[in-house]
Structure 1
Amino acid sequence: MDSVLRQRILKQVGDRLNIRAKKLNNSHWSYVKVLILFIILQLIGVTFFLKGFLLSRTVLDNTSTCVNENCFKPSHFNKAVLIVIDALRFDFVIPNEGSKEMYHNQLPVLYDLTQSHKENSLLLKFIADPPTTTLQRLKGLTTGSLPTFIDAGSNFNGDVIDEDNWISQLYYNNKSVAFIGDDTWTALFNPFFNQKLSFPYDSLNVWDLHTVDNGVIEHIFPLLENNNKKDWDVMIAHLLGVDHAGHRYGPKHFSMAAKLKQMNEFISNVISEIDNETLLLVMGDHGMDQTGNHGGESKDEVEAALFMYSKKPFFGRLEDSYYNISNAGKYHRSVNQIDLVPTLSLLLGLPIPYNNLGIPIQECFNNNIENLARANFETVTQIQNYRNSSSILAGDEEINNKYQELFEIYKKNSYDKTDFNVAALNYQALSLDRCKNLWARFDLLSISIGVSLLFVSLCLMLTYSKIIPSIVICQLNDQFFNVGVFSMFLGITITNSIFFVLRPETLNFAWSSLLGVGFGIIIGILVPLMDRYSIPWLLAQIRENVLDGGWSYLSFAFLLIHCLIFASNSFVIWEDKIVSFLLSTFGFISLIRNLQKKYSANDTSSNLSKILGIYHSLMFIILQRLSSTITLCREEQHPYCRSNFEITWWSVLLLYITSYLLPECLKAFYNITSSYQTAAQMWISKGLKYSMVCVAVYWTLELIEHDDKFSSLSFINLEVLKSIKLTISRTILGISLIAANISWSFGPICIKLEINDNNNSKEKSAVSNKGKEAYIVGYGNVYGSSYFLLIVNFLVAVLMATKPLGELSLFLLVNQILSLLELADILQLKNHSIITVVLSLLAYSNFFSTGHQATLQSIQWEIGFLATETIMFPFNQIPIILNTFGGFIICSLTAGLLSVYKRSPSSKPITLISKIAENLIFFIMINLFLAFGSTLMTTFFRRHLMVWKIFAPRCFFSCMVLIVINAITIITIVSTGFVVKKFFYITN
């Protein structure tokens, strides 16, 4: 009977545990599902905003032809050799006596020829239209049209150009085009190249300085031999070594000097090989800034060089007033890159591409004023034809009247050709300016929808995380999801019905359906809430639950100040300093709060808490100050900022020191709760330490490989070094992102069972048995100690993808996070908004101190080749994401730690999961608030002079951060829930 009763009791207990476990599991996944709904709503808002804000222009598919197929050809050139030296900045080719910069005076052949053979050569500043990315520049150089900002995102995804261009005109006029070099050209023009004379090379491996250049040199000279000249009419060669040297080392490195010397010799050899009927053009597609990057619109990025050469005297000169006279000499006039299109087309006897907006380069025609007038007339006629074919441009009466005046003047038997040429230049300048203004028309409907969805999402998340009680949210989660999914289909039906009635120009069926999904999610969240609460009640709870004290007001002030940065271009420029100031302010206020605690002779624990609070406050301030000294300056911050983000011997040496210090710091924090047991010892003392040593070895080899003091040594085998580096990076990334996380999922536990006669540690749970007691060491932080090992896994991956000074910044970040966790415990702020706000600020601070700014050119593209030498998805993209958003990844994972740090296994695990979800959603909400503020201010300043230089890049960065944080938050809530459920099963 006792046995049967015991079995019944055990069965009842087991059934109850199973019910509780099932309820816990359902509750956990309900939070995940609702979080996914919020994420979808945010993504829809961001997508609509970007659709409306990113400018695009309508490309006409017309193709130019010559009257009676007889094109104007004012030159003797039957062939042309076009050499593009990627990132050939203008000051790379002019002399600079007395300069100690390595990139000066290394490529003198172009300038020397313009001085000694003025009628045979021409050297000009070649002004690029931003964005200064290669693919967009090639489009401008061949079509004569202007890029829009949205084109920058397609720099790594080029499609065949479908608008008229001089390369396709060569093809349609039975001309043969040979090509060697950067494979971006084949992505754009492959159908028009002579396939037997096409030799493309992989273009995006910025760590490879020589393969493309050596390939060009190998193939170009055989094609220049007399026997092979009949096989081609135009030859294009695109070299990448200068650009890659800039990306990898910057322009001041010896590798840049070596590359420029190589280009000087190469061009000299090409000049000696061409004949009298061949036109040689040497140009840069853009420049580079002082860090070696490009993409923006700074002077160094947009000023490239254009050199033209003919063995027959051909080029004229304008009056001196047209040129910039400098110490290096004159004849440095600036021309737009689109001006190459009509110039080259006319010189080769081709129709000017239909979408061209440029004007002929006058020096190529003014040796005969009749030819210059004819060239200008042909071009303005082509521009007017383009304008007449465009519904947007055709109605400009001022432009039309100017063209009509030019047409009437030109048709006269006698006219002042000098005045006509000036008038033609004025016509083209006005037309270009009008086009730029008209193409800056934003889709305000899509922008408004996007900003509105972000705002509604912000309000819903605030209500969900801070206003409605957790117990109610837990009960409503399934309703939110079920009603939301049903409402999506209802929303799609309603929005498409409206679409078919109104048919707005900027929305199609797909966009209308996407909007319906967004409305459906909003309805799915609102209906269950409105069924229980009224709007006045919800508003009344804001003061009670959101602004409930001094710390709450401080967190709101920090968040508001950070958001208001976007209202001023100057504040955006200095965001790194503002964020650092806010963090230091938090540390200072925390210090004051700890100093205000009263000393008690009878309360040792309270006194110790005060001392520790003071210590961690000071450490937080000191670490922030150290972190802020690591800088990569924006162009606009000069001369008040000096970059120091470089790979040096001392920075690599510090990596070895931090590989010892960081594990020891983590060990010390684990020992606070006696949690440095079993799995923690393996993960931290072995895994983290050895991984950091391997990362330090990697950067040591990188430095050896590219330091001229070592790379020239005979016993240094560069191929072996590359193999070792690839092995290290692949091993570390593979272990940290895959193997270690799989191992972690099987449940590392940072506790230890001890049997002692007497032990009073507060961090141990005791069980008596026959006079002895069994103690579970580390019981007071079972959740936090286990979960933090997951953060260590991702930390190792981020360290591997970060440059040495950035790794030092991450070392400081981890210690700041640990001090922040201790302050949250000491000041009893674990689930308070101020800790989450500070955590978000730490992520932004680390972004700036790891060598980044909210600019396109600060992206460290070379990190994409950390684990592979070729373009291979996703092995190029993952390191770049880890490098750019590493701080946000670490802080997003830490947001899940706030509720479980220094917490024993809970008797109410569902409540604990709700607290975790609350912190995570609030962390997302902080960044959503910043994204909303950024989109709103960028929309407001859409006509500002600095919109594309400052406001828009910062806005797009906010959107990218929001996407990354949402993705990592899904991992965080799943992982923290996994930890809570694991210890529920263990303790029950």
Structure 2
Amino acid sequence: MEVIGRYPNISTCGDGSGSCTEPRFDKAIILVIDALRFDFVIPVPCSSKNYHNNFPILHQLAQRDNGVLLKFIADPPTTTLQRLKGLTTGSLPTILDAGSNFNGEAIEEDNWLLQLHRKNKTIAFVGDDTWTSLFNEYIDPELSFPYDSLNVWDLHTVDNGVIKHLFPLIKSNNWDILIGHFLGVDHVGHRFGPEHYSMKEKLNQMNEVVDKVVNNLDNNTLLVIMGDHGMDYTGNHGGDAPDELESTLFMYSKGENNKFLKKQREIYDINEMGKNYRQVNQIDLVPTISLLLGLPIPFNNLGFPIDEAFASSKTLLAGANKTIEQIKRFRDLTPSLANTLLDSFDDLVQKYAMESSSDWKMVDEFKKFQFASLEECKSIWARFDLRLISIGIGILFLSLTFMITYARSIPAVRVSTMSFEFIGSVIAMTIMGVVLSFSVFIVLKPGGFSLKICLLIGAAVGMMIGFWAPIMDRFSVGYIWQQTVDFFLYNFDSWSFMGIVFVALHCLIFASNSYVVWEDKIVQYFLLSFGSCCVFAIGVRQGITRKAKILAISHAATFVILTRLSAMISVCREEQKPYCEATFNTSWWSIVMLHAIAYLLPSAIKSFYKLSDSYYSAAPLWIGTCLKFFLFMNATYWTLEYLSHSESYKAANSMIGAPLIKSLKLAIARLVLFVSLVLANFSWSRGPLCVKLEIEEDSDLNASYDSDEIPNHKPATIHGYGNVYGSSYFLLVLNITVAVMLTTKPLGALSISFLIIQILSLLEIFDTLSIRKNLISPIIFGLLGYHHFFSTGHQATLPSIQWELGFMTTETIVFPFTHLNIVLNTFGPFFIIALSVPLITLWKVVPSTKPITVLSHIITNIATLITYFLFTGLSSSIFAAHFRRHLMVWKIFAPRFMLSAMLIICVNGFVILVTLWGTGRILKQVNRIFGK
């Protein structure tokens, strides 16, 4: 086995039986018609549907001896990038392949394009640019014509481009392999569904293209036409419903001596459409193409040669033998497969050497071995370890019970957690858990558990015991229970009930794939319901002035309006089509809005500070100068980004220079991130509070005393005293906000600016309604984080991750800077929310003589927010485990669980490293100045 460069395990002609087979065809044209469902190409009598009987040429040509039509079965998940990987490497799909569907990286596994490239064959390509992202180094750059594949609303650009270049390429004949990938059928399905009249037009167009290709085909060229997957009745795909899995494979050659082996003529059953057409797996194309073109079979292939592709049973048997040898080499170098099916393989080798069976019988024996190997691979790579799943759910449940107790039941414990005793208990019990789990592993050697897993489980359980030990040492179980009951009896009101209902409903949506798909709208409904209730509650509230009531209602109305406006910024999941229209894109008006934000957002924040008489000292510098400047820098960055990618500004690019624009962008991004994340936070920790001491000069008072009797103290006013905690702490929130807004696209930055105003409006509402200590307050903050996660261009899917923003500050992947950008972009709204939760306690609160009590209330709200994320995390993990065999598990349930898991990790880490540090700093500073 040869190792070449960065590519390990590359098959060569020297592997196995000595040499590659002689190529049956000199050249090949491979046309991929995206989403070509099988019933689109076979005759369907008495059907008037637009997707039937409008692409007849494949079936007509298949009636000849030199044409064959087969049902092509895809492996789920049925996404284009993952299917292309299976069609070129012969390997099984993974969720990561499906998740990177719109952000494909070059395939480094052995594949038949790599093999062609190594044999100095010329590969021409036109169509879906996914191919160039995966195989760009193998495709001849002068014969490559990729087109953007992401705009599913565009039915014709890609197909017209393929047609434009395809026929000149065929006539030029300066290639060995010509690949064309049409997208129109798939885009019609996504946009209108398969029954729309546009599908008929598109299938007719494909029929004409194939007819013209056949007319231009020479005798030594193989024509392969295939679909990568099908589509369901809505036109979508991704799961494993039959309509999504059943695609089309057609092979044709004009040469009289290149007839295909037809072991079984296709039979059409009018009652069960397409049932009696022979079906093959898509991974079977890999050894078939390799054998027909005289290439080594890719190392990772798990498929088997397609019978009909060969001229005789002898050549088929020789190809089958080479394929089984390749599969055996792959198994030998795969630890989990190396020691299985050995006897079966030895029997096959012996039978083949003795030639004791007929060709067809021997082929069937090879097929049985390949099928057993494939099933074993599926069982290993798609196996669910219920023991580990149960342990994980159990740990989450224990964490949740502790957090509920910690958050609401025992106020005294929240103070003790900051002591060395509590921290020491956690460290000691974690070490003990690791030691005990190591001992258990050495003594018992539990099957299925590696040392790493045992150590992680021991650490988790030990940490949990370390949290519980001080609580149980100070308080009995009965006391804990009584505290819990007392909380719900004496602190429970309609607002708390609303908070619990929101959490319960949010957890229950994970029981349905449809609700998970529309989670963004459900979260929006929760927030709008809360805002509407606030308007009503403020309207009927007694004991406040008319002016204060109008002001409070305006805050509630602002919250509702901004919630609705931010909801208009959206990225649609594939499953939401056609009921969702994506609006998250960068255009000239979004850049204009970004420049407007640089002036409007600081002015809006200033107005809130004016309400509490806090716009003094550090506030004008932070808000009026620094925030405005760095928001302008953000807008400048995205202006340059827009200009560098806009067709309308090519002249500007040539005039300014692309390298100069790139350098300016890097400089701005690095400056803003460094200042906002490092320098500004350091300055904030050492800077002044947002207060001003104004000494009154009263001449009449001074005149009433003799010079010897003038008092030492003059009357003074401390401006900002009533909001000294909140106004100063909020500056820290603005520091992180600037960083998040830079790493968010323009409409996302608009959403973040709405988030800041909503936070300030909520703080005013909480103060007016006196619900700052209520369950609903941190829960609404959590919902607000989810809402702006969706409105900043994200969904609970891997394709929605905006990987390209990782390169804002670097030209290549540089840890941790590239990763930091992606984390800020993805979880930025949650970071802002986690940092803002202490403001529920701190906003409009005078300096306390007992800062430890203020800290206890802050930790209560932080713990309540974390409890909310634990609830959703536990629920999503339970339902992901329950639906582990559901057809949408890898597309809907698993990615949503992954989001919940990452939120628990990221929010907890951020709270510990940033929020608690900032809270402690501001409490110490205020207590140092105003403490008694």
Q: Matches of residues 682-721 of structure 1 in structure 2 within 5 Å?
A: 682-711=621-650, 716-717=655-656, 719=658, 720-721=660-661
Q: After TM superposition, give the deviation of residue 701 of structure 1 in Å.
A: 3.3
Distance, in Å, in 2 between the alignment partners of 1:682 and 1:254 is 54
Instruction: Look up the equivalent residue of 2:404 and give its one-letter code.
Output: L
1:346 aligns with 2:288: no
User: Equivalences for 1:28-43 in 2 at 5 Å?
Assistant: none
One-letter amino acid of the structure 2 residue matched with residue 680 of structure 1: A
Deviation at 1:497, TM superposition (A): 2.5
Mapping of residues 217-232 of structure 1, within 5 Å? 217=140
Residue 981 (structure 1) aligned with residue 924 (structure 2): yes
Match of residue 69 from structure 1: 17
Structure 1 residues 773 and 984: CA distance shift in structure 2, 3 A: same
> How has the CA–CA distance of structure 1 residues 853 and 160 changed in structure 2, closer, same or farther, with 3 Å as cutoff?
closer
Q: Does the 8 A contact of 2:397 with 2:874 survive in 1?
A: yes
Q: Residue 736 of structure 1 aligns to a residue in which SS?
A: helix
Shift of 1:280: 9.2
Paired position in structure 2 for 1:575? 519
Aligned 8 A contact 2:71 2:278 in 1: yes
Which amino acid is the alignment partner of residue 689 of structure 1? Answer: K
Task: Output the CA distance in 1 between the equivalents of 2:884 and 2:255.
Answer: 50
Match status 1:371 vs 2:315: yes
Residues 882, 255 of structure 1: CA spacing in aligned structure 2 closer, same or farther, 3 A cutoff?
farther
Alignment-derived partner of residue 202 in structure 2: none
Aligned partner (choices 496, 501, 505) of residue 557 of structure 1 = 501
Shift of 1:541: 1.9
Aligned to 2:436: 494
Distance of aligned partners of 1:913 and 1:125 in 2 relative to their CA distance in 1, 3 Å threshold? farther
- In 1, distance between residues paired with 2:165 and 2:809? 29
RMSD: 5.3
**What does 1:837-876 align with in structure 2 at a 5 Å threshold?**
837-876=779-818
Q: Distance in 2 between matches of 1:68 and 1:591?
A: 77
Structure 2 Cα separation of the partners of residues 442 and 844 of structure 1: 29
Instruction: Say whether the 8 Å CA contact 2:239–2:887 is kept in structure 1.
Output: no
Alignment of 1:145 onto 2:91: yes
Residue 356 of structure 1, CA deviation: 3.3
CA distance in 2, matches of 1:449, 1:240: 51
Q: Secondary structure at the match of 1:505?
A: coil
Q: Give the Cα–Cα distance (whole angstroms) in 2 for the partners of residues 645 and 215 of structure 1.
A: 34
In structure 2, do the counterparts of structure 1 residues 475 and 278 end up closer, same or farther at CA, with 3 Å as the change threshold? same
CA contact (8 A) 2:238 2:244 kept: yes
Match of 2:693 in 1: 753
Matched, 1:586 2:530: yes
- 518-527 vs 667-676, which moves further: 518-527
Asked if the contact 1:711–1:718 (Cα under 8 Å) also holds between the matched residues in 2, the reply is no
Task: Say if 1:363 and 1:922 are closer, same or farther in 2 by CA, change over 3 A.
Answer: same
Write out per-residue CA displacement over residues 98-124 of structure 1, whole angstroms, 9 at most, x where no aligned residue: xxxxxxxxxxxxx99x99xx9999999
Report the Cα offset of residue 956 of structure 1: 0.5
2:618–2:687: 8 Å Cα contact kept in structure 1?
no
Change (3 A) 1:696 1:211: farther
Q: Counterpart in 2 of 1:566?
A: 510
Change (3 A) 1:307 1:583: same
Alignment check: 8 A CA contact 2:11 2:297 kept: no
Choose from 614, 622, 638 the match for 2:577: 638
The equivalences for 1:814-893 within 5 A come to 814-893=756-835
Compare 534-543 and 828-837 and name the one that shifted more: 534-543
- What is the match of residue 897 of structure 2? 955
1:614 alignment partner in structure 2:
553
5+ unaligned residues in a row in structure 1: which ranges?
A: 1-59, 96-110, 182-204, 222-238, 324-331, 760-767
Comparing 308-317 with 553-562, greater Cα deviation is found at 308-317
2:199 aligns to what? none
Q: How does 1:662-681 map to 2 (within 5 A)?
A: 662-681=601-620
Give the aligned partner of residue 726 of structure 1.
Answer: 666
Contact 2:644/2:653, CA 8 A, preserved across alignment? no
Q: Among 383, 406, 416, which residue is 1:464 paired with?
A: 406
**Which residue number corresponds to residue 681 of structure 2?**
741
- Label 1:669 to 1:501 Cα distance change in 2 as closer, same or farther (>3 A): same
Q: 1:316 deviation in Å?
A: 5.0
Query: What do residues 667-690 of structure 1 show as CA deviations (whole Å, max 9, x unaligned)?
Result: 111111111113211221222223
CA distance in 1, matches of 2:910, 2:382: 35
The letter of the residue matching 1:868 is T
In 2: Cα distance, 1:354 partner to 1:665 partner: 62
| Aligned residue among 470, 484, 487 for 1:528 | 470
* Distance in 2 separating the partners of 1:333 and 1:941: 31
Work out whether residues 843 and 887 of structure 1, in 8 Å CA contact, stay in contact via their aligned partners in 2: yes
Q: Which residue of 2 aligns with 1:17?
A: none
1:138–1:285 Cα contact (<8 Å) kept: no
Query: Superposed, which structure 2 residues align to 1:241-390 within 5 Å?
Result: 242=147, 245-246=148-149, 252=154, 271-274=173-176, 314=258, 337-347=282-292, 349=294, 352=297, 356-361=301-306, 364-365=309-310, 367-368=311-312, 371-372=315-316, 375=319, 379=323
Partner residue in 2 for 1:33: none
Is the counterpart of residue 967 in structure 1 residue 909 in structure 2? yes
* Contact 2:99 2:797 (C-alpha < 8 Å) held by counterparts: no
Aligned: 1:934 with 2:882: no
State how 1:53-92 maps to structure 2 within 5 Å.
69-70=17-18, 73=21, 75-76=23-24
- Per chain length, whose mean CA-contact separation is higher, i.e. which structure has more relative contact order (CA < 8 Å, sep 6+)? 1
Q: 1:735 to 1:131 in 2, by over 3 A?
A: farther
SS of 2:670's equivalent in the other structure is helix
3-state SS of paired residue (2:839) = coil
Deviates most, 835-844 or 152-161: 152-161
8 Å Cα contact 1:74/1:371 also seen in 2: no
Given the superposition, is the C-alpha separation of residues 974 and 385 from structure 1 closer, same or farther in structure 2, using an over 3 Å criterion? closer
Other structure's SS at 2:842 match = coil
1:770/1:949 Cα in 2 relative to 1: closer, same or farther (>3 Å)? same
Instruction: Give the aligned partner of residue 460 of structure 2.
Output: 518
**Cα distance per residue 1:436-495 (max 9 Å; x no partner):** 356432112211111111111111122122111236742784322212222223222322
- Cα deviation for residue 965 of structure 1 reads 0.7
1:365-403: CA deviation from partner (whole Å, max 9, x where unpaired): 2x556534654576578769989999889999xx99x99
The alpha carbon displacement at 1:952 in A equals 0.4
Cα 1:392–1:588 change in 2 (3 A) is same
Q: Distance in 1 between matches of 2:713 and 2:904?
A: 57
Q: What is the aligned partner in structure 2 of residue 6 from structure 1?
A: none
Match of 2:445 in 1: 503
Residues matched between the structures, number: 826
Q: CA deviation at 1:578?
A: 0.9
Distance 1:809 1:898 in 2: 21
Taking a change above 3 Å as real, the CA distance of residues 311 and 257 of structure 1, as seen in their structure-2 partners, is closer
> CA distance change for structure 1 residues 157 and 913 in 2, over 3 Å: closer, same or farther?
farther
Larger mean Cα displacement after TM superposition, 861-870 or 661-670: 861-870
Relative to 1, partners in 2 of residues 1:510 and 1:740: Cα closer, same or farther, differing over 3 Å? same
Distance (whole Å) between structure 2 residues aligned to residue 677 and residue 302 of structure 1? 65
Change (3 A) 1:692 1:121: farther
Q: What letter corresponds to residue 930 of structure 2 in structure 1? A: T
Q: How does 1:5-24 map to 2 (within 5 A)?
A: none
Secondary structure, counterpart of 1:899 in structure 2? helix
Answer yes or no: is the 8 Å Cα contact 1:88–1:287 preserved in 2. Answer: no
Whole-angstrom distance in 1 between the partners of 2:662 and 2:105: 28
Q: C-alpha distance in 2, partners of 1:634/1:836?
A: 28
Q: Deviations over 1:193-223 (max 9, x none)?
A: xxxxxxxxxxxx99xx9999699656x89xx
- Distance (whole Å) between structure 2 residues aligned to residue 749 and residue 950 of structure 1: 47
Gaps of 5+ in 2: 1-7, 41-56, 124-128, 178-217, 269-276, 700-709
Q: Which deviates more, 348-357 or 963-972?
A: 348-357
Asked if the contact 1:296–1:856 (Cα under 8 Å) also holds between the matched residues in 2, the reply is no
- Equivalent residue number for residue 540 of structure 2: 596
Q: What TM-score results when the alignment is normalised by the length of structure 1?
A: 0.71
